[in-house]
Structure 1
Amino acid sequence: MGAIEVPVLIVGGGGCGLSASVFLSDHGVGHVLVERHADTSILPKAHYLNQRTMEIFRQHGLDDEVAEQGAPVEKFGKVRWQTTLAGNGPLDARVIHEMDAFGGGELRERYAEAGPVLPVKLPQVRLEPILRRHAERRNPGRILFGHELADFSHDGDRIVATVRDVETGEITTVAAQYMVAADGGRTVGAALGVEMQGPPGLANVTTVYFSADLSAWWREGTLITHFLDPHHPDRSSNLIEMGPTWGTGCEEWGLHFSPNDPTPFDEETVVPRIREVLGLPDLDVTLLHVTHWTVEALLADRYRDGRVLLAGDAAHRQPPAVGLGLNTGIQDAHNLAWKLAAVLTGRAHDSLLDTYEAERWPVGRHNIDWAMSAAAHHQAILDVIGVGERTPPQRRVPMISTYFDPSPLGAVARARAAEVFDTHRAACQAHDVEMGFAYEEGAIAPDGSQPPARVPMRDVYQPTTRPGHLLPHAWLEREGRCLSTHDLTGPATGFALLTGPDGLAWREAAAQVAEKFSISISAAAIGRDAEFSDVDGRWEAVREISDEGAVLVRPDNHVAWRSMSGSESPVDVLANAVSRILDHPSGSPVVP
């Protein structure tokens, strides 16, 4: 192919890299993506797309196709603990506990109020082809699978990379102004000397993907079913639907074995163990893949090195508990895309890209710590019912038998366990972790206010218009069309200024400031007799500004600035805020 000059080079074609490609295309940023594999993932891997990620997909026209192939919350909105799936023994096929999770059941109304779309379950093996198709449609000829990064260097105001066609060996030189490393940390970070900080491998896990007909025994509606072996603590495992049909008709499954299981899993030993775990000795199993992987809790010491920006697993790797890994990576790409667009078009200084690390590194730190805490707490759940590793072998069967006993003693055991199980909401109902994260430093103009109090278990999301937080969702109506507050901004519309019905001065100021900075600011009045009507009064309940106030929202739907009321100098105040956001100078909070 010779040589290519392009604004951005993306290294890595997994969920994060392909999402970055789609987002950059929508922002009009030219780029090339290289991925060493010939095709997208052959393994299901991550499978839960949280509400924030689905909102991002909605902004970029991906949500319909993802939802069409994925499972809706009614098909996965529970977590369940069982002894086995089937069997005739006194402790076989017993449901220990189940609880609503990830927006399902009684949580649905709360989640529906928080956003325009709900979470979806879709494994990466089915998600990545969707992302690849959209990436190729929006950037034809520049999504290069079967091409690996062979070498790269900083060369003044650009990155010069050598890319090799894996099949032919043909070399292409790519010169880019910036490079996004979404390669899982395999190449770029190590070459730059980026240190992945954290403990060494926490556990070695074997996951088996297989197909089988479990329709006669499967209790549908769960994201994950934990099987707890009353006799052998090292044989506990969990089972996950992998589609493509959801519910009792599911054809493919993922089974994670306990890290402490001493079995040397291979294709000969793993099928008998599947049957043993499920309590189905005669189950017809077709083995698809056996994978061995390491649980990690690592965070890059920096997200930016010159003109290279790290995203996804190249920047953070966490235990799968809470389902934050892929979601965090996609949200990294979303944060970065509009900033790259602003810098590359000259609307912002290069220093805006420093805010990527300032904003996303703390989120990566928090999500790793939260996943670690949730994973450790699951052990406490096992211990309280007598199937944990700390339970003496001779006590395991008596304790779990008491749990199922209809006697008053059994009722007490179940009541005690229920209280411990309820604390698992920090893992499977962590709505505030998924939606309530905020940027305290970065491309924002703080107003000196304090964040709303967060409940310790992070299961209650509190919307707020405080700068740095996600813009609260509310349904609006304009000329008979229903839309979300989140639809007022995005790659096509740029920034948005949301005002009260009496905020005309702010809206007029927005036009002048947009012209001054050569950016797009769409102004919208919301409220009585305004351009946008507040359908059910939710915007008024969450806006936290007066009828004369205003909220400036970034293209990624995070609040950049707000004024609680009017101002004597709205143009100067708004211009000062936009200057701070795009140029990121140091200074005191912007207070009108």
Structure 2
Amino acid sequence: MTSIEVPVLIVGGGGCGLSASVFLSDQGVDHLLVERHADTSRVPKAHYLNQRTMEIFRQHGIRDDVLAEAAPLDKFGKVRWATTFAGDGPLDARRIHEMDAFGGGGLTEKYAAAGPELPSKLPQMWLEPILRRHAEQRNPGRILFSHEVIDFSDEGDHVIAEVRNVETGEVITVKAQYLLGADGGRFVGSKVGIEMQGPPSNVNTTTVYFSADLSQWWEEGTLITHYLSPEDPDLSVNLIEMGPSWGKACEQWGLHMAPGPPGRWDNETVVDRIREVLKVPDLEVTVHKVTDWIVNAILADRYRVGRVLIAGDAAHKQPPAVGLGLNTGIQDAHNIAWKLAAVLNGSAPESLIDTYEAERRPVGRENVDWAVSAAQHHQVVIDAVGGGHNIPAGRRGQRLAAYFDPSPLGDTVRARALEMFDTHRGGCQSFEMEVGFAYEEGAVVPDGTERPARVPMRDEHTPTSRPGHRLPHAWITRDGERLSTLDLTGRTGFTLITGPEGTAWSEAAPRVAEKFSVQVNAVRIGDGAEYADVDGGWEAVRQITGAGALLVRPDQHVAWRSTGADEDAEQALTEVFATILDR
């Protein structure tokens, strides 16, 4: 039997697992990734890449390849509600409402001020090949598709796993110091006794992935369009562009049917249903896949058991509202990668890995709860116009007709409904949930300050350099090159950011770095420094004086800050690193 020994074994080659591979490679960590399927996903799955994820892709050199295939913001930056997709009845094909969403339209300026990247739309079936290519380029020969873990055991100081080649049946033994389960909760978590906690769910959703030419009827520009049938709640659907072209040129689509029992349709029988719900009776359709899936709202009780860790859907599953699922998984991987690297290279003890759960599980909890809240509230919103699934067939036409009534009473009906629609910004404009998550405990040194107040709808973001938060973005320049402050962090090591009067911090940094065997890149921003704060944007968000300092982790979160100078900068930084690295 063949044996392989690696520091880290990743189980699962989806969006989270492949991202973890890229991040570990960039941290210089040798690892093996195994995925039981022969190839990346053949169905769209998640399709929204939020602002924070795009910043991470920027940091790790993936962003350009994503943008080359992704829909531009003007092609998806709205959410829309309509009666039906097509049809010639008095209530057919009528727009009910649309609103800017996910950084589009009037939101773009606000999102652009918050970070160097804007959100993108690229379904997982197109994203994963990009991630796989980057993973294979950075870790050649160690990304094994058609391989599945059939058993593993935690031996205390290492993990032993049996990996089977699905095509040949050959079994190899893998010895790893850590195992990262990114398998969607299929096997790893339950094997070590991790429980997924949350209310039981039996709500089945059927998604049909198909190709068709819808250009004659399609109103482009949305991330998702909700069609609320005036006739029958079971004919209400959501339709989503799935590329690979965008707008009216889109070839492939995802259609979410009304909730119902699994197994209702197969690739052949669903064709007539597609034509019925879209009201295009002679539509030429090629069905690629019909999937039934349960809408869950569950969170793992632990993210780590011994030398086994979990991330992505293996740790949290939530309704697709707000688009936090895949993004949270990629951000999980971003958090754990640098910590595994620090432990494996000897600069931190194993206890640093415990901060992964301490930091990421509260974020997982908040994101699951927020997605549930948004999904439930959306039901209330569409009920307000008479299009919800709770509105019976006999009353739907009457309710929707009242919404379009040109009379003064119709004006009132629309005004009331539009106020309800506006509350949906908590579901599609909550960019504080995308970039504002923070770590209250873990590998951070709190400074005693309070977290900035968060508005209830999470549609406003307050940048802050408070420890635990993502480094605030501002545009700076060096030798004429325009950069984001986030670009200062590179892909590895810590970054110490000071002002023009922060020389003592900069001089102490290399001595402390040598003491702890860590990489620290010291930079200064301000008048006379190597980086210029050309428009005052950094001064507006830094929350330290020109003599102060920020220490930023490899994952771009602030680990510590000093608002001003210190009598003994070297001793202060020594204590900071001892705390962060648990030494």
TM-score over 0.5 for the pair: yes
| Secondary structure of 2:55's aligned partner | helix
Alignment check: 8 A CA contact 1:490 1:557 kept: no
Alignment check: 8 A CA contact 2:19 2:131 kept: yes
Q: CA deviation at 1:277?
A: 1.6
Amino acid at match of 1:36: R
Equivalent position of 2:520 in the other structure: 521
Worse-superposed segment, 568-577 or 438-447? 568-577
Task: Give aligned pairs, total.
Answer: 583
Equivalent position of 2:508 in the other structure: 509
- Where do residues 152-551 of structure 1 align in structure 2 (5 Å cutoff)? 152-260=152-260, 264-492=264-492, 494-551=493-550
Matched, 1:86 2:104: no
| Secondary structure of 1:331's aligned partner | helix
| Secondary structure of 2:444's aligned partner | coil
Amino acid at match of 2:514: E
Amino acid at match of 1:521: V
> 2:329 & 2:569 partners in 1: Cα distance?
37
> Deviation string for 1:543-580 (max 9, x for gaps)?
11111111110000000000011111211111111110
Alignment check: 8 A CA contact 2:156 2:307 kept: no
Alignment check: 8 A CA contact 2:263 2:292 kept: no
- Where do residues 554-565 of structure 1 align in structure 2 (5 Å cutoff)? 554-565=553-564
> 1:198 & 1:235 partners in 2: Cα distance?
30
Q: CA deviation at 1:267?
A: 2.9
> 1:437 & 1:568 partners in 2: Cα distance?
33
- Where do residues 570-581 of structure 1 align in structure 2 (5 Å cutoff)? 570-581=569-580
Alignment check: 8 A CA contact 1:24 1:30 kept: yes
Q: CA deviation at 1:263?
A: 8.8
> Deviation string for 1:497-525 (max 9, x for gaps)?
11121111111121221111111111111
Amino acid at match of 1:186: R
Alignment check: 8 A CA contact 1:490 1:556 kept: no
> 2:40 & 2:260 partners in 1: Cα distance?
31
Matched, 1:582 2:577: no
Equivalent position of 2:118 in the other structure: 118
Equivalent position of 1:589 in the other structure: none
Amino acid at match of 1:193: G
> 1:38 & 1:488 partners in 2: Cα distance?
38
| Secondary structure of 1:141's aligned partner | coil
- Where do residues 128-143 of structure 1 align in structure 2 (5 Å cutoff)? 128-143=128-143
Q: CA deviation at 1:75?
A: 0.8
| Secondary structure of 1:162's aligned partner | strand
> 1:461 & 1:209 partners in 2: Cα distance?
35
Structure 1 runs (4+) deviating above 6 angstroms are: none
Amino acid at match of 2:228: L
| Secondary structure of 1:533's aligned partner | coil
Alignment check: 8 A CA contact 1:233 1:388 kept: yes
> 2:313 & 2:195 partners in 1: Cα distance?
13
> 2:390 & 2:312 partners in 1: Cα distance?
35
> 2:141 & 2:201 partners in 1: Cα distance?
39
> Deviation string for 1:270-311 (max 9, x for gaps)?
112211221211111111111111111111110001001100
Q: CA deviation at 1:487?
A: 1.1
> 2:125 & 2:426 partners in 1: Cα distance?
27
The percentage of counterpart residues that share the same residue type is 68
Amino acid at match of 1:476: I
> 1:388 & 1:484 partners in 2: Cα distance?
44
> 2:263 & 2:527 partners in 1: Cα distance?
67
Amino acid at match of 2:507: E
| Secondary structure of 1:583's aligned partner | coil
| Secondary structure of 2:289's aligned partner | strand
Alignment check: 8 A CA contact 1:338 1:491 kept: no
Worse-superposed segment, 92-101 or 191-200? 191-200
Equivalent position of 1:587 in the other structure: none
> 1:391 & 1:88 partners in 2: Cα distance?
23
Q: CA deviation at 1:262?
A: 9.2
> 1:398 & 1:226 partners in 2: Cα distance?
19
Q: CA deviation at 1:261?
A: 7.5
Q: CA deviation at 1:229?
A: 0.7
Q: CA deviation at 1:199?
A: 1.3
| Secondary structure of 2:247's aligned partner | coil
Amino acid at match of 2:60: H
Amino acid at match of 2:488: L
| Secondary structure of 2:249's aligned partner | coil
> 1:263 & 1:498 partners in 2: Cα distance?
57
| Secondary structure of 2:483's aligned partner | strand
Matched, 1:75 2:82: no
| Secondary structure of 1:107's aligned partner | helix
Cα separation, partners in 2 of 1:263 and 1:25, compared to 1, 3 Å? closer
Amino acid at match of 1:364: G
Q: CA deviation at 1:56?
A: 0.5
> 1:540 & 1:157 partners in 2: Cα distance?
47
Cα separation, partners in 2 of 1:239 and 1:156, compared to 1, 3 Å? same
> Deviation string for 1:13-72 (max 9, x for gaps)?
000000000100011000000001111111110000001001001111000000100111
> Deviation string for 1:95-122 (max 9, x for gaps)?
0000000000010111111111111100
| Secondary structure of 2:358's aligned partner | helix
Matched, 1:568 2:548: no
> 1:250 & 1:346 partners in 2: Cα distance?
50
Matched, 1:42 2:42: yes
> 2:88 & 2:340 partners in 1: Cα distance?
60
Amino acid at match of 1:187: F
Mark the runs of 5 or more structure 1 residues left unpaired by the alignment. Answer: 585-592
Alignment check: 8 A CA contact 2:262 2:292 kept: no
Mark the runs of 5 or more structure 2 residues left unpaired by the alignment. Answer: none
> 1:124 & 1:541 partners in 2: Cα distance?
37
> 2:262 & 2:140 partners in 1: Cα distance?
48
Amino acid at match of 2:550: V
Matched, 1:127 2:127: yes
Equivalent position of 2:98 in the other structure: 98
Q: TM-score, normalised by structure 1?
A: 0.97
Alignment check: 8 A CA contact 2:156 2:306 kept: no
- Where do residues 141-152 of structure 1 align in structure 2 (5 Å cutoff)? 141-152=141-152
Q: CA deviation at 1:206?
A: 0.4
> 2:272 & 2:96 partners in 1: Cα distance?
24
Alignment check: 8 A CA contact 1:234 1:261 kept: no
Q: CA deviation at 1:343?
A: 0.5
Q: CA deviation at 1:260?
A: 4.1
> 1:392 & 1:19 partners in 2: Cα distance?
45
Cα separation, partners in 2 of 1:445 and 1:89, compared to 1, 3 Å? same
Q: CA deviation at 1:392?
A: 4.9
Amino acid at match of 2:20: A
> 1:3 & 1:390 partners in 2: Cα distance?
58
Cα separation, partners in 2 of 1:378 and 1:260, compared to 1, 3 Å? farther
> Deviation string for 1:156-190 (max 9, x for gaps)?
31101110101111111100011110011111111
> 1:263 & 1:189 partners in 2: Cα distance?
28
Worse-superposed segment, 399-408 or 218-227? 399-408
Alignment check: 8 A CA contact 2:355 2:442 kept: yes
Equivalent position of 1:109 in the other structure: 109
Amino acid at match of 1:235: L
| Secondary structure of 1:534's aligned partner | coil
Q: CA deviation at 1:87?
A: 1.1
Alignment check: 8 A CA contact 1:403 1:413 kept: yes
Alignment check: 8 A CA contact 1:47 1:123 kept: yes
| Secondary structure of 2:576's aligned partner | helix
